[in-house]
Amino acid sequence: MSLAMLDRTLQTVPFLSALGIRAEETRTGHVVLRLPYNQKITNHTGAIHTAAIFAVGELAAAVVLGTHPELAKLIHLQKSSKVKYYLPSSKDVTAHATLTDEDMASIRKSIGSGHATTEITVKVLDGHGKDVAELSSHFAFRQR
């Protein structure tokens, strides 16, 4: 999926549009989403609210799977997510998700058994490249 098409698709979802999340980079197995700083999504200290940080991270994990051409024939089910927050941010943040070759090999191997799963790790960084948060989302797959 092209960057422009992904960005337009994200903008059609009211919640994502309200947060201002935009696609910044996409290629097979990799996605970067930007959550722009906006006072409407800050906490009492003026930093981006942790719920907004979680939302962009969780979305990046889902998008990296959803845009992978080999996984288009599968239903993706998000089973759980966990997050570690490191630093508050009062600047834009970016969520970086990657589906590795090892992840894909494991999914291919286990899909036949009907129990294919994967764990996607997403790093959320501030404008200086510092870790703001790290999310880990667990997905299961089923045939359509």
pLDDT tens sequence for the chain (144 residues): 788 999 999 999 989 989 999 999 999 999 999 999 999 999 999 999 999 999 999 999 999 999 999 998 899 999 999 999 999 999 999 999 999 999 999 898 888 777 889 999 999 999 899 999 999 999 999 887
- N-to-C CA span, the chain: 20
Q: Could you give the CA distance from residue 108 to residue 70 in angstroms, rounded to a whole number?
A: 9
- Which residue from 65, 142, 47 is spatially nearest to 104, judged by alpha carbons? 65
What local confidence, expressed as pLDDT, does residue 94 receive? 98
Q: What pLDDT is attached to residue 122?
A: 98
The pTM score is 0.93
CATH number, position 47: 3.10.129.10
Q: What total of structural domains would you count in the chain?
A: 1
> Would you state the pLDDT for residue 1?
77
Residue appearing with tokens 């997510």: 81
Domain that holds residue 50: 3-143
54 three-state secondary structure: helix
Nearest to 33, CA basis, from 6, 12, 51, 13: 6
